[in-house]
Amino acid sequence: MSYSTQFLNKKVTVTVDRAMGTKHPKHNYFYPINYGYIAGIMAPDGHELDAYILGIFEPLDTFEGICIAVVHRLDDDDDKLIVVPEGKSFSDDEIRAIVNFQELFFKSEILRV
């Protein structure tokens, strides 16, 4: 898991490829938050490392924030960073509630330092 947990408590830049309010390209749901990836950081699934952006309530193209947690999927090889504005915090329960629109299909745990 070092590919994802190495970003905990660090500033990262997220390239948003699924902005808040857009529809998933294959599945029938909309993104209630901004979702993207960390450019150049590859995950075991062969794609760039994914990130959920919490605490911003408008569609974005890019975002620089702090990684406060990792959603580590136990039944998939696709971890997700939880990235927030500096100084912002969310509990594990709040994170689960916010990302449930997509994570409800997977078994996962939330990792922190």
Q: Give me the tens of pLDDT residue by residue for the chain, a chain 113 residues long.
A: 578 999 999 999 999 999 999 998 888 889 999 999 999 999 998 999 999 999 999 999 999 999 999 999 998 888 999 999 999 999 999 999 999 999 999 999 999 98
- d(C-alpha 87, C-alpha 84), whole Å: 8
Q: Domain residues of the chain, as ranges? A: 2-111
Which stretches of the chain are DSSP H helices? 2-5, 92-103
Could you tell me which residues come within 8 angstroms of residue 76 by beta carbon, excluding any fewer than 6 positions away? 45, 106
Q: What is residue 73's predicted lDDT score, i.e. its pLDDT?
A: 92
Q: What is residue 97's predicted lDDT score, i.e. its pLDDT?
A: 97
Q: 38, 62, 59: which is closest to 50 by C-alpha?
A: 38
- d(C-alpha 34, C-alpha 25), whole Å: 15
Q: Which fold has domain 2-111?
A: Inorganic Pyrophosphatase (3.90.80)
The pTM is what? Answer: 0.95
Coil vs helix vs strand at 98: helix
